[in-house]
Amino acid sequence: MTGAGASAVRVGLVYPELLGTYGDRGNAVVLVERCRRRGVAAELVVVPAGEALPAGLDVYVFGGGEDDPQEAAAAGLRQGRAALEQAVAHGAVVFAVCAGFQLCGTVYSTGDGRRVEGLGLLDATTEAGAPRCIGEVVSDTTDTLGVGLLTGFENHAGRTRLGRGTTPLGRVLVGAGNGVGGVDGAVRDRVVGTYLHGPVLPRNPALADRLLEWVIGPAARHAVADRWGAALHAERLREARLRGLRAWWRDRRLARG
């Protein structure tokens, strides 16, 4: 701990050199800042690749990564699995995006077909598929986390199947998400996975605050200085809907021949 006080919220950015291809650091920055702007002490704890995963963090943020770095991260994380499981059992939040989400599942396949064991925090398995899913995504979390529509950008080849009884994070309205069953991501207690980057938390302040609520309680519902976040959220939803509408129109014409 680096002097932020014993009660400071500790947000861990896990292996950013390996799992940080899509600006995923932003998710951790947003969580820390939204605490601080509410007067709650918080610190960003970078866990560099090659180091053991500490057990005492409040939030663990995993990002996306290319194939080789993802595999290097998987090897490191499997060694830290006990620490992570202990933290989760004590109520820590895990927020995992794209490759990080795949790593939290039980197993994933690489582009060249090898199977790599995941952390098993979520009952989800991932195969590589074609085509690659690239573009804006909108998903609806009303029935899951209750934070409304999420906007993000996806870029992955994963097809992620959820186990029976595993809740998806959202129903996909635009884009692919998990690529299976019209849903994106997965939620189990305080472990949340998604294919949405962008990064996703700066674009979706409501989701950031829901994760924080699990850590700091009702304080996360207090208003926070975020001058442009709501405008960005609305703008991205508008843009994606237009794109979705165009795709729907095209499909309709194709269906009619």
Partner 1 sequence: MAGAEVGPPPAPARTDLRTRCAVAAGRFAGWASRVTGRGAGTQVGGRIMLALAPGALGALAAGHRVVCVSATNGKTTTTRLLVEALRAGGHDAVWNTTGANMASGLAAALARPHTARLAVLEVDERWLARVLDPLRPALVVWGNLSRDQLDRFGEVHAIARTWRALAEAHPDLRVVANASDPHVAWAAEPAEVTWVDLGAAWRDDAATCPRCGSLLRWSEAGFACPGCRFATPPAVARLRGDELVVAGTPVRVPLRMGGAWNLRNAALALTAAHLHFGVDLAAAAAAVGTVEAVAGRFTTIPVGAGRTARVVLAKNPAGWTEVLHWLTTQPGPVVLAVNAHLADGRDTSWLWDVPYELLVGRDVAASGERALDVAVRLDYAGVDPLVERDPRRAAAVLAARTADQAVVTIVASYTQFTALTRSQW
Catalytic residues: 98, 197
Spatial separation of the C-alpha atoms in residues 53 and 190, rounded to whole Å: 18
Per-residue contact string for residues 165-184; x = within reach of partner 1 by CB under 8 A = --------------------
The full length of the chain comes to 257
Specify the stretch interacting with partner 1 by CB under 8 A; choose among 101-109, 120-128, 129-137, 213-221.
Answer: 129-137
Based on its alpha-carbon atoms, the radius of gyration of the chain, rounded to whole angstroms, reads 18
Torsion of CA 166, 159, 100, 247, to 10 degrees: -100
CB of 215 to partner 1, least distance (A): 19
8-state DSSP, 197: B
* Shortest spacing between CB 251 and partner 1, in angstroms: 21
How many Cβ atoms are within 10 Å of 1's Cβ, its own excluded? 11
Site for partner 1 in 30-49 (CB under 8 A): 30, 33, 49
d(CA 206, CA 49): 30
Q: How far is the CB of 60 from partner 1 (least distance, A)?
A: 18
Size of the site for partner 1 (CB under 8 A): 37
126, 171, 192, 208 from 115: Cα distances, Å? 9, 27, 22, 32
The interface with partner 1 within residues 105-124 (CB under 8 A) comprises none
Binding residue for partner 1 (CB under 8 A) from 25, 161, 171, 241? 25
Up-side HSE of residue 51: CA atoms within 13 Å toward CB?
A: 13
Residues in contact with partner 1 by CB under 8 A are 17-18, 20-26, 29-30, 33, 49-50, 66-69, 71-72, 134-136, 153, 155, 197-199, 202-203, 226-229, 231-232, 235
